[in-house]
Amino acid sequence: MRKREKPFGSGILYGLYQKRLRREIAELPVPGHIAIILDGNRRWARANDLETAGHGYRAGAAKFREFLVWCDDLGVKVTTLYLLSTDNLLGRAPDELADLFEVIADLADDLSHYRDWKVQHVGSLERLPEALKASLNAAEARTANKTGMHINLAIGYGGRREIADAMRSIVRQHASEGKSIDALAEILTPELIAKHLYTGGQPDPDLVIRTSGEQRMSDFMLWQSAYSEFYFVEALGPDLREVDFLRAVRDYAGRQRRFGQ
């Protein structure tokens, strides 16, 4: 477990409880891969009488940074942040999307300069503006040789789209080798499909956390989360506290994972 750079939270009782939670989980198994749906940013902005959803997105981005520090300090190896779905690209107003694109670009750049983290975009580049694409490409290139925590930024992401893209990739590769459809049917396995996902070669998430009290997946990591543990938090995204995160990890450690057995 890494030494903390600075404490989060405030108040004596909060601090004592936080320390107690850290002691409790110090010897417990840590999830190797944690994914998070930081939901409720727009609701948070409205609840705080802020003018635009962009204020909520910026608060959510700041919380993502805190969340990643919590994960890294705990020894988590891989994290996935659900930042922008394919449905968001189709359903959000242009002005709101423009704010969100800017916030995501700034976050990707920020993370690529912090610690020894390796940043990877997972999702489709279709419908993303050129400035955001450039920021993501630069963040990936800048961190390509880093060996610290691996951070997936799920942007322009949809679980169904990911599976369809994986299948297209397999078919194209098979066709380029001049092989028949019958031959493809013989080799098409879950393991082969997994290799062609956006996260190919990575471990599946052990723990998926969602904020804001919603209890649904929203097209997030549908394939990879087949055996994941889920933890739902009532707090809106920007209000997520480290104690909420530590409780999620403690709860995860107390579960018996059967993987379908």
List, as one string, the DSSP characters of 192-249: HHHHTSTTTTSPPPSEEEE-TT----TTSSTTTTTT-EEEE-SS-GGG--HHHHHHHH
Q: Tell me the pLDDT tens digit for each residue of 8-21.
A: 446 788 889 999 99
Q: How far apart are CA 81 and CA 122, in angstroms?
A: 10
Asked if 157 and 124 count as a contact pair (C-beta separation under 8 A), the reply is: yes
Asked if 45 and 52 count as a contact pair (C-beta separation under 8 A), the reply is: yes
Q: Tell me the pLDDT tens digit for each residue of 90-146.
A: 999 999 999 999 999 999 999 999 999 999 999 999 999 999 999 999 999 999 999
Place of tokens 């204020």: 55
What number of H helices and E strands is found in the chain?
10, 6
* Model confidence at 78: pLDDT above 60: yes
* Model confidence at 86: pLDDT above 60: yes
Asked if 222 and 194 count as a contact pair (C-beta separation under 8 A), the reply is: no
Q: What are phi and psi of 119, to 5 degrees?
A: -105, 135
Tell me the CA distances in angstroms from 143 to 16, 87, 139, 157, 237, one per residue in order: 36, 29, 6, 21, 27
Which pLDDT score, from 0 to 100, does residue 11 have? 78
**pTM of this prediction?**
0.92
H or E element, residue 191: helix 190-195
Q: How far apart are CA 171 and CA 76, in angstroms?
A: 35
Percent above pLDDT 90 for the chain: 84
Which pLDDT score, from 0 to 100, does residue 256 have? 83
Let me know if 163 is exposed, middle or buried by CB neighbors in 10 A (0-12, 13-18, 19+).
middle
Of 26 and 1, more confident: 26
**Mean residue pLDDT across the chain:** 93
Q: How far apart are CA 132 and CA 124, in angstroms?
A: 12
Average pLDDT over residues 175-179: 88
Give the tokens for residue 59: 């608060």
Q: Tell me the pLDDT tens digit for each residue of 193-209.
A: 999 999 999 999 999 99
Which residues share a beta bridge with 150? 78, 118
Catalytic residue among 39, 72, 204, 206: 39
Place of tokens 């209000």: 239
Asked if 68 and 35 count as a contact pair (C-beta separation under 8 A), the reply is: no
Which pLDDT score, from 0 to 100, does residue 10 have? 60
Which pLDDT score, from 0 to 100, does residue 179 have? 86
Give the tokens for residue 223: 């394939």
* Model confidence at 260: pLDDT above 80: no
Which pLDDT score, from 0 to 100, does residue 126 have? 94
Q: Tell me the pLDDT tens digit for each residue of 156-165.
A: 999 999 999 9
Please report the sign of the dihedral spanned by the C-alpha atoms of residue 35, residue 38, residue 39, residue 42. negative
Tell me the CA distances in angstroms from 37 to 134, 172, 208, 219, 244, one per residue in order: 24, 32, 8, 11, 14
| Residue 88 annotated among the catalytic residues of the structure | yes
H or E element, residue 84: strand 78-85
DSSP 32: S
Amino acid identity at 25: I
Average pLDDT over residues 50-57: 93
Coil/strand/helix, residue 156 = strand
Catalytic residue among 41, 48, 87, 88: 88
- Fold (CATH) for 32-253: Undecaprenyl pyrophosphate synthetase (3.40.1180)
Place of tokens 């949809």: 158
